Structure 1
Amino acid sequence: MTLRHARALPLATLTAIVIAIMLLLSVGMAYIGVTWYSAHLEENNNRSLPPEAADAYRLVNEGRVPDETALRMLVEHLDALVATTDFKVQLATLVIGLLSALLCAIIGVYLARRIARPLEDLTDAADILRSGDFSVRVAASPGTTREVSSLVETFNALATSLEKMEERLRFNNMAVAHELRTPLTVLQGGMQGILDGVFPMDRKMLADLLLQVEGLGRIVEDLRTLSLAIGQKLVLHREDLDLAEVVEAVLSAARPMLDTSGLKLQTSLQPARISADPTRIRQAVLALLENAGRYAASGGCLRCETGQLPDGSAIIRVLDRGPGFPEDMGAVAVNPFWRGDASRSRASGGTGLGLSIVQAIAVAHGGHLNLSNRPDGGAMVEIHLYAEGEVS
């Protein structure tokens, strides 16, 4: 809960306070009005009394007893004024009560509109948001209720998320079209050339076309993995495993690939038990090794580490001596198909989705992916994994 939320009153409390103030104000105004009018009537009645009766009335108010004649005259005149005075007091009570209630109702409507004004702004903003403009935001009014402040913050967070999702969707659509255009163009040109007799239909030509098909297959499979992550169906089967054993098995299988890239492998695989999906863990580690083989081969060294953290989580760390990550590291895992420079192209065999998939696997395990540059050169990628039910 933010400090502003702590200071703001709940809507129920504020409503009760406003109702209580309006009731007290209405009763107070009615009391003051009736009291004033009663005093005004008493003064008029005193002026209408004969002098003897007026003197007797003054003596009675002072606690003294007037003479019998003056007292009898006072009683006779008061009996004549009682009925008229009571009617006037009752009528004044009714009129003043209605006026005070009307005035309190006007004040109450004003205060209610002040309280509900942010909700009206939220309604207008929601209409704009529904029309597709995700840049709309609502400013929180000072002195508003806790619930309305929370609703405004939630709405603004939702609008921000939708705006980012729209930007990512637009970028992804463009990126997918860009990634698919080249292999499809190569396939179409090659097959058309074969049909026209320009290219011979030999094994080399078919192998080249098959390579493009395999590239399309990798893109489709990576996109499927990301779609599973969006639908929270990426990790369906967890089992208790030791990350050191899983990573060691992947390293053994990928050693020929690393040897081809000229990377010398170093390991520090400490036991790290965690409940995780072994298939997805292997997929994440292999994606990191493939990235290192493509982009960090110039460093000539690759180090893999595993370990258990004090909070019970586990970590997989991959370090290289390559060129490292660029300044905009935030875009590396967030934007699918990201490539840091022109040299990181599809010609090197990647789809550009590797780190996005690794991040999706880490998040599916309740963890996260850390990307950083080493002080003495190279990149470091850390996968933090949490047991089922834990929060990173």
Structure 2
Amino acid sequence: MKAQSLSQRLNLAVVGITLATLVLSLTFVMVAYSLLFEFAPKLLSAEDAILPGPVEWAMYSVCIVLGSIAASVVATRVARRMVEPLEALAEAARQIAGGDLSSRATLTSPAPTEASQMIADFNAMADRLEKAVDDIVTWNSLIAHELRTPVTILKGRLQGLAEGVFKPEPELLRSLHQQADALARLVEDLRVVSLLDSGRLQLRPIEIELASEIEGLARLVERDLDKAGFGLRTVLTSGRCVADPVRLRQAVLALVDNALKYAEPCVLEIAARVSETDVAISVIDDGPGMPESLKARAFEPFRRGDDVDSKTGSGLGLAVVRGIAEAHGGQVSYERREGRSAFTITLPRKC
């Protein structure tokens, strides 16, 4: 049954009360006059009398009382149906204000369209509030966990240098620089994920030649790949698209970094395809593949496989990739291709 709006219910209630009063009054008068004409005609006022007689006044009084009772009953039921959603909403709001974020407004009977929509919107807002609070608690814990290791290492090494336990040798200084670099990247990833989550990441899209951008990026990462025992192959299709080149490079670098951390040394392939409607950038490696238990949530922040050492990475890289893709109106996906792992960023071409 389709719910009625509040204005429709009010109109119907007023019309119903009026009609009920009129019908009841006419019915009572007709029945009363019929009985009086039949059994006590002398009680009726004379035909030429201007004012009603006492008996007629009594009939009118009884009619008014019965009509008022009927109108009150109908009005009370209508008012109750309208006030109930507001009471449910107020009670849920009081519980949430008191700290019970799981409280929701519920209806025990059908309500006007506006009231039902207000209840649904309130519950959706409460869901988001509860999730936001839970996320804050979770993020604080995870951030503290991720920052603890690099900060502890830096603190211990610097204290050792200050106390003369370690000598300021180039190898130690390089190690400290690597820890500081990892810490800086972690902070930047956290910043990007936070901006993405709040919808405040600003893109500066321009028209770019995709193949040239990817080729330049490949040359930048080639040395790091070579040091890690990886080869590099690019399969690029020429074509122009509209995207933020800085954020696009950041996303592809995150996929390359993901391969360096989790895949076995192999020939890493970076492919770019341009069609009439979209573009696709893939990073393909010979890694062991993603566990089935991780696939559904791999692109969420701080997600890692159960068999992955937490020291390997922060678990933010794929979340950054997903966020950048979605900010462009696209998406990122993972699949196995002929025994290889392929991460693909798909974006609308828009040019």
| Both proteins in one fold, TM over 0.5 | yes
Does the CA-based 8 Å contact 1:261-1:297 persist in structure 2?
A: no
Are 1:356 and 2:319 counterparts?
A: yes
- Structure showing greater Rg: 1
Q: Which amino acid aligns with 1:303?
A: E
User: Contact 1:37–1:89 at 8 Å: present in 2 too?
Assistant: no
The aligned counterpart of 1:203 is 170
Amino acid in the other structure paired with 1:379: S
CA contact (8 A) 1:324 1:379 kept: yes
The structure-2 alpha-carbon separation of the partners of 1:12 and 1:279, relative to structure 1 and needing over 3 Å to count, comes to same
Q: How does 1:43-58 map to 2 (within 5 A)?
A: 43-46=38-41
Alignment CA distance shift 1:191-1:378 (3 Å): same
How far 1:17 sits from its partner (Å)? 2.2
Shift of 1:227: 2.9
**Residue matched to 2:156:** 189
AA at the equivalent of 1:27: L
Q: Measure, in 2, the Cα distance between the counterparts of 1:237 and 1:134.
A: 38
Aligned to 2:121, the other structure's residue is in SS state helix
Q: Aligned match of 2:212 in 217, 223, 245?
A: 245
Is 1:339 aligned with 2:301?
no
Quick check: 1:235–1:277 contact (8 Å CA) kept in 2? no
* Alpha-carbon shift at residue 250 of structure 1 (Å): 1.5
Normalising by structure 2, what TM-score?
0.86
What is the CA RMSD across the aligned residues, in angstroms?
2.9
1:79 and 1:125, CA in 2 relative to 1: closer, same or farther beyond 3 A?
closer
Deviation, 1:85, is 4.2
**Structure 1: how far apart are the matches of 2:26 and 2:59?**
11
Equivalent in the alignment of 1:63: none
**1:187, 1:209 within 8 Å by CA — same for their partners in 2?**
yes
Cα distance in structure 2, aligned partners of 1:95 and 1:344: 87
**Alignment deviations for residues 245-280 of structure 1 (CA, whole Å, 9 cap, x no partner):** 322322222222233333444444334543221111
Q: Distance in 2 between matches of 1:30 and 1:324?
A: 82
Query: CA contact under 8 A between 1:271 and 1:308: conserved in structure 2?
Result: yes
Shift of 1:185: 1.4
Structure 2 equivalent of residue 316 of structure 1: 281
TM-score (structure 1 length as normaliser): 0.78
1:136/1:198 CA distance change after superposition, 3 Å: same
Q: Name the counterpart of 2:224.
A: 257
Q: Which residue of 2 aligns with 1:13?
A: 8
| Corresponding residue for residue 123 of structure 1 | 90
- Aligned residue pairs total 349
Distance (Å, rounded) in 1 between the aligned partners of 2:295 and 2:83: 43
Find the residue that maps to 2:110 and give its secondary structure.
Answer: coil
Q: Note closer, same or farther for the CA distance 1:289–1:34 as it changes in structure 2 (3 Å cut).
A: same
8 Å CA contact 1:8–1:146 kept in 2: the answer is yes
- 1:26 partnered with 2:17: no
Give the equivalent residue in structure 1 for 2:332. Answer: 369
Q: 1:149 aligns with which of 116, 133, 146?
A: 116
**For 1:304, which of 257, 270, 273 is the aligned residue?**
270
- In structure 1, stretches of 5+ residues that fail to align are 50-76
User: Is 2:343 the counterpart of 1:381?
Assistant: yes
Distance 1:105 1:246, change over 3 A: farther
Which of residues 34, 51, 69 is equivalent to 1:39? 34
- Aligned positions of 1:51-200 closer than 5 A: 78-79=46-47, 82=49, 85-86=52-53, 88-90=55-57, 92-200=59-167
